[in-house]
Amino acid sequence: MDRIRISGGNRLHGIIPISGAKNAALPLMIASLLTSDTLTLENVPHLADVEGLMRILGNHGVDIAVNGRRERQEDGYSRTIHFTCRTIADTTAPYELVSKMRASFWVIGPLLAREGKARVSLPGGCAIGTRPVDLFLEGLQALGADIEIDGGYVNATAPSGGLVGAKYTFPKVSVGATHVMMMAATLAKGTTIIDNAAREPEVEDLANCLNAMGARITGAGTRTITVEGVTNLSGARHRVLPDRIETGTYAMAVAMTGGDVTLEGTSAALLENALDVLRQTGAEITATETGLRVVRNGHGIHPVDIVTEPFPGFPTDLQAQFMALMTRSSGVSHITETIFENRFMHVQELARLGARISLSGQMARVEGVQRLKGAPVMATDLRASVSLVIAGLAAEGETIVNRVYHLDRGFERLEEKLTRCGAVVERVSE
């Protein structure tokens, strides 16, 4: 099993290309099930989750053609992938596939809309909370679907005439449930109004792609999304938006270590709240023609309190990385997690590096220390794993991050990108 070895203490200087967003690429790939034509996606990152979803889509009958990175090609790790699903080969998404990645459950929306039925295993994924699928199923039921759960599978069937548009208000904001209901509604009869919808950029990106395929969606990016159903969707070409979580992660790495890095191919509009918080810690962040420039000139890191919230608030997917940054602040900060009930598993691993963190329910009190010291640590989930990398970059001596497969799910060529900016980071295979 691979590990990441880090020798801390180096400032970061250079350019880091930001990859396409995993959280946008996955629902966009699933949207290929809605049409018999070819959906071409540009800027798709090379990640374990993307590879896993391609296997799942292949099981449903999607033909996939990948234009890969040429040998010796320099910066630019993204790929263009063509997805063609002439016919749905199988409306069952089996446990052995769905259990490995939660987002694969989202195929239930397109399968139900196009074929009128779907049998999908209850999902798996990171152990950062229960994340029940109730919101997904209630949204589909509002469109007329009949839902039964039997033997760990969700059996969904549409009325004989297909799904029917309706007005539905989510009791709680859910990005995944918004994706699924929006996709299902594109082929429903009549108009669907989704209230209390997720406002994340990835939701708007999916809507833009669906509209390019012939859907009629308005309001994406706001609390209310309106979908006018159409009889069929066509193919399209769409570019995956930049990864805002990767952007914020590398910005925090610069804030942690000091230095001067340009994050290329990204936009401040994707994560204004997180960038404002970073500025409060003492980092300088400015927009450039190609992306964002992040500078910290050696002054101390100021403590800042945060509360995770749905977009446009501070992202839960940057909470662990920000906690790592606060371990070196010049005072006490408080981090409150409101999205997932079990997303502080990185605390005990940061403590192994010398961090002083105490927990009280869903709030962490972080008392900054003058130095961290390298140690072997264990990644528990995707975002927690990269928080340990950020801490290791600033720790004295050597840090070994185990369970690197978590990192590979969401960060494309992380060690390569950091090494190009002066970090001492290498992957070690046993």
How do strand 63-67 and strand 79-84 relate by DSSP bridges? antiparallel
Q: Of 424 and 97, which is predicted with more confidence?
A: 424
Share of the chain above pLDDT 90, in %: 85
**Pair 252, 196 in one domain:** no
The rounded distance, in Å, linking the Cα atoms of 154 and 176 is: 16
> CB–CB of 191/228 below 8 Å?
yes
Q: Of 380 and 223, which is predicted with more confidence?
A: 223
The rounded distance, in Å, linking the Cα atoms of 87 and 341 is: 40
Whole-number pLDDT of residue 355? 98
11 in a known ligand binding site: no
**Pair 170, 195 in one domain:** yes
32 in a known ligand binding site: no
Whole-number pLDDT of residue 76? 47
199 in a known ligand binding site: no
Q: Which of 217, 239, 261 is the last residue of a domain?
A: 239
Q: Closest Cα to residue 225, out of 321, 149, 139, 322?
A: 139
Task: Give the DSSP per-residue string, 259-312.
Answer: EEEEEET--GGGSHHHHHHHHHHT-EEEE-SSEEEEEE-SPPBPP--EEB-STT
Q: Of 297 and 394, which is predicted with more confidence?
A: 394
Structure tokens, 322: 């920000």
The rounded distance, in Å, linking the Cα atoms of 345 and 413 is: 24
**Pair 176, 249 in one domain:** no
12 in a known ligand binding site: no
The arithmetic mean of pLDDT across residues 368-396, rounded, is 93
Report residue 78's pLDDT band, with 50, 70 and 90 as the boundaries: confident
Whole-number pLDDT of residue 279? 97
- 172: which residues sit within 8 A by CB, 6+ positions away? 135, 196
Report residue 130's pLDDT band, with 50, 70 and 90 as the boundaries: very low
- 55: which residues sit within 8 A by CB, 6+ positions away? 97
Q: Give the chain's domain count.
A: 2
381 in a known ligand binding site: no
Task: Please provide the average confidence, as pLDDT, over all residues in the chain.
Answer: 93
Which residue has tokens 């966009």?
28
**Pair 253, 295 in one domain:** yes
**Pair 291, 184 in one domain:** no
**Pair 235, 246 in one domain:** no
260 in a known ligand binding site: no
339 in a known ligand binding site: yes
> CB–CB of 129/342 below 8 Å?
yes
pLDDT at 343 over 90: no
> CB–CB of 424/6 below 8 Å?
yes
Structure tokens, 364: 């962490």
Q: Closest Cα to residue 260, out of 284, 300, 289, 295?
A: 295
Q: Closest Cα to residue 30, out of 1, 8, 53?
A: 53
Q: Where are the beta strands (DSSP E) in 337-414?
A: 356-360, 363-367, 376-378, 398-402
pLDDT at 339 over 80: yes
pLDDT digits (tens, 9 = 90+) for 236-271: 999 999 999 999 999 999 999 999 999 999 999 999
Share of the chain above pLDDT 70, in %: 95
Q: Which of 239, 255, 272 is the last residue of a domain?
A: 239
**Pair 8, 152 in one domain:** no
**Pair 310, 220 in one domain:** no
Which residue has tokens 């970073």?
278
Whether residue 201 is preceded by a cis peptide bond, meaning omega within 30 degrees of 0, is no
pLDDT digits (tens, 9 = 90+) for 14-72: 999 999 999 999 999 999 999 999 999 999 999 999 999 999 999 999 999 998 544 33
The DSSP call for residue 388 is H
> CB–CB of 193/168 below 8 Å?
yes
**Pair 180, 280 in one domain:** no
**Pair 330, 405 in one domain:** yes
**Pair 261, 327 in one domain:** yes
The rounded distance, in Å, linking the Cα atoms of 258 and 300 is: 10
132 in a known ligand binding site: yes
Domain containing residue 66: CATH number = 3.65.10.10
Whole-number pLDDT of residue 70? 40
DSSP 3-state of 64: strand
Whole-number pLDDT of residue 395? 98
What's the pTM value of the predicted model, to 2 decimals? 0.94
Which residue has tokens 């005990």?
348
Whole-number pLDDT of residue 54? 96
pLDDT digits (tens, 9 = 90+) for 193-227: 999 999 999 999 999 999 999 999 999 999 999 99
**Pair 333, 399 in one domain:** yes
> CB–CB of 82/32 below 8 Å?
no
Q: Which of 195, 219, 239 is the last residue of a domain?
A: 239
Whole-number pLDDT of residue 124? 56
Q: Name the residue range of residue 210's domain.
A: 22-239
126 is catalytic: yes
* Cα Rg of the chain (Å, integer): 22
pLDDT digits (tens, 9 = 90+) for 58-71: 999 999 999 854 43
The arithmetic mean of pLDDT across residues 302-323, rounded, is 96
State which amino acid sits at residue 314. Answer: F
The rounded distance, in Å, linking the Cα atoms of 284 and 294 is: 6
317 in a known ligand binding site: yes
167 in a known ligand binding site: no
Whole-number pLDDT of residue 68? 53
